[in-house]
Structures are given as structure tokens and as C-alpha cells.
Structure 1
Amino acid sequence: MTAPWTPEHEVDAAQAAQLIAGQFPDLAGAPVAPLATGWDNTVYLVGGEWVFRFPRRAVALPLLAHETAVLPRLAGRLPLPIPFPERIGVPSAGFGWPFWGARLVPGTELADTGLPDDQRSRAAADLGGFLRALHDPALTLDLGESGTVAVLPHDPMRRGDPGVRGPLARERLARLAAAGLWQPDPAVFRLLDEAEPLGPADGPPVLVHGDLHQRHLLLGDDGRATGVIDWGDVCLADSAVDLSLAYSGFAGPARAALFDAYGPVSPERAARARVLAVNISAVLADYAHAEGRAALLREALAGVSRAAR
């Protein structure tokens, strides 16, 4: 079976350099180095200052359009740095898809830091304040009045619906267990059993990152958050979609610090967030195992356990 993250087109460093130089002559000759690879994009650091994202799959093209529409409108309005697409590459004979570049948001993916749970409180508090600002209904209203959010779908992956995400989580967990990577945990199944009947949330949606997990929160050497990246799944949804990281990435005092900064969350919203946390963590673990990413595998499996507690 072909893995869902298998690229349809993969731009290598030489092609990236050629494409960038062709459309942005001031960057011609700048060093181009691999920075990251995900399901949807291959990412290069250019000249030590610019980050360029090249789609790997056709499904990423509307996501790129969402990023380039929304991120400039969010610039300077959130308490943590986010990418600002300043250089928009158009389709060409050399590459038939658009791409874009932004100035580097420095930091290390939370998944790669190996930071112990008891040293995550500062990052958690930073993230809580960030999500409070992002989920402010006034921000969503303002972007709606400007027409910006008109391009965004409403929870297209149904990530806020535990009736959808719970069964998907069970499938991934079964794969992990069969591979000997995860020991079935009764607490995880109790969570799924209790939350799956909830269904999607009522009430008006807010602007959400849409795919917030341990790869998309960046940290500095001091343990503070330095930015939030990879906004391809930005959409309108219940805030539980982003709050899943509160449960997969943080536990104990760190999680408490996050919610001290964010504000109160209802038990139903917490349950929806926890189910998504299990689902995303299981997906990340499956991906990490297939791609040989040991640090991400450890973090993702820990995320499954954190989410249930």
C-alpha cells in the first residue's frame, strides 16, 4: 500500500535553487540546504535567511492558497512569530505548481528537542497565550469582514468530531500495536469510548491552525516557544482542533500553565481535543516509524499516553 505521504513531485536542492533564482534573481547563487520534509511540502533554507516550501502532492495546492491568503493578514497580530509569505513563486515550465518563501522562523521542532515534560512549562504558557489570541472571536470576525476567511473551509477533515477521529485513532493504534511499537493502554480506550458519542461541537467556529502538533511548535534553547509553522490546514473550526496539542505535547504543571494562559475549557471541548490528540499522535508515530524518525516516534508515542491523562 502506498503511504499517504508519498510525494507526487519532489523538488531536490538543485531544482529548488534553479526555480528560486529564476523568479527571485536577488537570491541567485545563495546556498540552498534541506530544512524539513513533511507530508505535503519539501522545505529548503536559502541563504540562511529564507525558507521556501515546495508542494509534494496535488492535495497541498489549495492549502498553499490558504496559507498565502491568511498568513499576511495575521502578521503582527499574534504573540509568537509565524511565517509571512513574501515571495510567491508561480507555476513555470520547470515546476508546474506554485511555491512560496518566507523569512526563517528560528527554532527547533518540539518533537526534536527531547525536552522532558517537567521542563515544558515555559513553552506551554507561550502556546496558551498564542492560542488565546488566535482563537479570539474578534480576530475571526475581523478577518471575515475583510473577506480573508472566505477562502477557508469549515473543519474539512472533521478533526473536531470525535465520532470521526476516534475510529481513525483506533485503526492507527492497532497498526502500532501489531508492529510492537505501542502497548495497548486501557486509559486511551476509555477516553475514546467516552468521547466518540459527543459528535462535533455546536457554536460559531474560530480561526484555527488546523494541524497543530509537536512538529509545528518551535522552541529555542531556553525552552521558550519561538514560533508556529506549517499553516496549510488553517481553517474555521472549534478551538478543540488546536487544543489537541495541549494534551499530546504537555502534561502536569506544563499543561496547567498552558490553560492558565489560555483560559478555561469545557469538559466536552477537552474530550474532543484529547481524542484528536490521540489520533494525531498515532498518525505521527506511524509516519515516524515508516520514515525512520526515532525522535518523532518517541514523542508521538508519548503524546498518545499524555492525551489520555
Structure 2
Amino acid sequence: MTTPPQGPPPAPEWEAEHEVEADAAAALIAARFPELAGAPVEALATGWDNTVFLVGGAWVFRFPRRRIAVAGVEREIAVLPAVAPHLPLPVPVPRFAAGPSAEFPWPFWGARMIPGRELAEVRPPDEDRTALAGQVGAFLRALHDPALAAAAAGGLPHDPMGRADPAVRAARTFPRLDSLVRLGVWERDRALTDLLDDARHRAAPDGEPVIVHGDLHVRHLLLDPDGRAAGVIDWGDVCLADPAVDLAIAYAGFAGAARAALLAAYGPVPPDREAAARVLALNLSATLAEWAASTGRAALLAEALAGMRRALAG
């Protein structure tokens, strides 16, 4: 007879350690940046690591929700001003940056708002993503330029989460799939299991590391009203790594002619890099799907599950 676990279930890994509400954010911003005192503060978005507010209709402020996010916030503040001028799409550039204080234990920052809606929210049909995909490929080609890494990568860690390592990512994907099955939103798929089993024996690509966004998925690509790229947000995982880490979006966010357009704009991708990117696409999509299913985000769930199918289908 199995003894049931004692006590309450463990807290979800995305649960906030320090949640900031709009009124507290307004007070913190006014205290550190008097020129913004009295500006309206509205909740804009929530992720695993940050709570985001729109201030005065023009500025977006990010407050960490978990201690693990603090190092990423510090990297954003340090790196984004250096890389932004070299990229063909808008990215947030910190204009207001505050260190820890007695009122809030972690740094936070604000940047000019980039208008747009998440790809995961818009969900254009796959056949309508070709122009967008080409823009993403050109963006990644610029971001992954070795010259940019040489000029702006000082102090960045090397792939701290092992996202370019297919064996690491495969091992971390199986529990996500089990959770999706328990949640009733995914059925076990032999082809997917076989792909992940094969990935357990693959080595990480051994190319020269470049600056990568680090977490480029369907929530972090913004679209304009015409369905074209408006910007790339949420750089908390920026680091040095193999380009496969960002190329995951080619396999989770695009298929068919759209994926071909992205890769044509980006340049050649060797087989080991493609394999690593595909496994990471499955991992990120499964993670997003689990979070979406657990927190009632229907559009994100649909897009994340579609991303798993895209990555699996080739």
C-alpha cells in the first residue's frame, strides 16, 4: 500500500516569491524616478520571472517576481543598450534603472514601450507567417554576428541553463509531457518520445558562442497590426551560447514556407545545430503549454501545442 504524500502539494515553479501590485509599483517608481510621479500605472503582463507594468502610457517597467530572475535583470540593464543599435528590430533599452532598496529587494528597470502584440496572442495562420519569418531570420543573423559578441558580450555567462545541449533539454522535457498528459491537453506520441530518446545521446553543437536572446519563443516576439515583426522583448536570459538556442523559434513558431524563409534570411544551419534547436523548441513549447494549461491561458496553450507539432513534424 502506497502512503499518500503528507502536507500541501508543492508550489508551482512559476509562483512569485515577491509579487508587486500596481499601487506598490507606482510608489516604487515615483520614489526612484520623480519625473514619473503621478503617472498612471497599469498591469501589462506577467511571466514566470517578471511582472510588467505600463507607466504613463509610454514606459514599460519590469519587476522580478523570483530571486532567480535578478541576474537576468542585471544583464538586461547592462547589455541591451549595447546591442540595440545593431539590430533590425526594436528591443527594449533601459532608460530608468533602479537598484535594490529597503522598499524592494531587487533591481527593476523601465524602457520605452514597444507597441505590438505577442505572436502567441495574435496566432496568425502558419501560411501567413512567411514575411514575419524572414524578419526573424534577419534579426537573428544580426544578433548572432560574431563581431557583436566581441564588442558587447563582456561579462555574459555561457549558456547557464544548457539550452543548446539536446541531452539536457530532452531530459527536462519528459516531465513536462507527463504533466500535459495529466492535465488532459496532450496525448502521448511515440514519434515525439523517439525524437527525445535520440536526443539523449546527442552532443551539443560546438560552434563559436554568440550573443543569444536565450528565451526566444512565441511570447517574446511582438507583431504589428499587419502581422509583421514589431520587436523582441524579455531578454532576461541573454547570454553567450550556440545559435541553436535562438533558432528554436524557427521550429516552434514556423513551418513549411515560413520556416524556409526564416532560414534563408538567417543563413546555413548545420545538422547538429538544427537537431539541438528542434529539441529546444519542443522543450520550450511543452513548458509554455504546461504553464498555460495550469493558469488558464487558452490562446497560449493552443499556440504552444501547435509549436510542439511544428517541431515534431519537421
TM-score tier by shorter-chain length is: over 0.9
Q: Which residue of 2 aligns with 1:268?
A: 272
How many Å separate the matches in 1 of 2:210 and 2:128? 30
- The answer to whether the Cα contact below 8 Å between 1:155 and 1:235 also exists between their aligned partners in 2 is yes
- State the partner residue of 1:23: 32
Q: In 1, distance between residues paired with 2:94 and 2:198?
A: 41
Residue 233 in 1 paired to residue 242 in 2? no
Q: Identify the residue that residue 62 of structure 1 maps to in structure 2.
A: 71
Partner of 1:214: 218
Q: Per-residue displacement from partner, 1:152-172 (whole Å, max 9, x unpaired)?
A: 111110011111100111111
Aligned amino acid, residue 298 of structure 2: A
Q: AA paired with 1:214?
A: V
Is the 1:132–1:263 contact (alpha carbons within 8 Å) kept by the matching residues of 2?
Answer: yes
Partner of 1:96 in structure 2? 105
What stretches of structure 2 of length at least 5 have no aligned partner?
1-9
Once the two structures are aligned, what percentage of the paired residues are identical? 61
Match of residue 62 from structure 2:
53
Match of 2:132 among 108, 120, 123: 123
* SS in structure 2 at match of 1:227: strand
Of residues 53, 64, 76, the one that matches 1:44 is 53
Give the equivalent residue in structure 2 for 1:160.
164
Q: TM-score, normalised by structure 2?
A: 0.95
User: Structure 1-normalised TM-score?
Assistant: 0.96
Quick one: which amino acid aligns to residue 207 of structure 1?
I
Query: 1: CA distance between counterparts of 2:228 and 2:135?
Result: 7
On the 8 A contact 1:188/1:305 being kept in 2, the answer is no
Alignment partner of 1:77 out of 82, 86, 94: 86
CA contact (8 A) 1:80 1:226 kept: yes
Q: 1:139 aligns with which of 145, 148, 173?
A: 148
Which residue does the alignment assign to 1:283?
A: 287
Partner of 1:146: none
Residues 83 and 148, structure 2, Cα contact 8 Å, conserved in 1 = no
In the alignment, which residue of structure 1 is the partner of 2:12?
A: 3
Structure 1: gaps (5+ residues): 144-148
1:100 alignment partner, SS class: strand
Partner of 2:246: 242
The AA in structure 1 aligned to 2:304 is A
Q: Superposed, which structure 2 residues align to 1:108-119 within 5 Å?
A: 108-119=117-128
Whole-Å separation in 2 of the counterparts to 1:38 and 1:279: 17
SS of the counterpart of 2:222? strand
* Structure 1 ranges of 4+ moved more than 6 A: none
Q: Is the contact made by 2:32 and 2:98 (CA closer than 8 Å) also made in structure 1?
A: yes
Aligned ranges 1:247-262 → 2 under 5 Å: 247-262=251-266
Query: What RMSD in Å do the two structures reach over aligned CA positions?
Result: 1.0
Q: Of residues 293, 300, 306 in structure 1, which corresponds to 2:297?
A: 293
The total of aligned residue pairs comes to 304
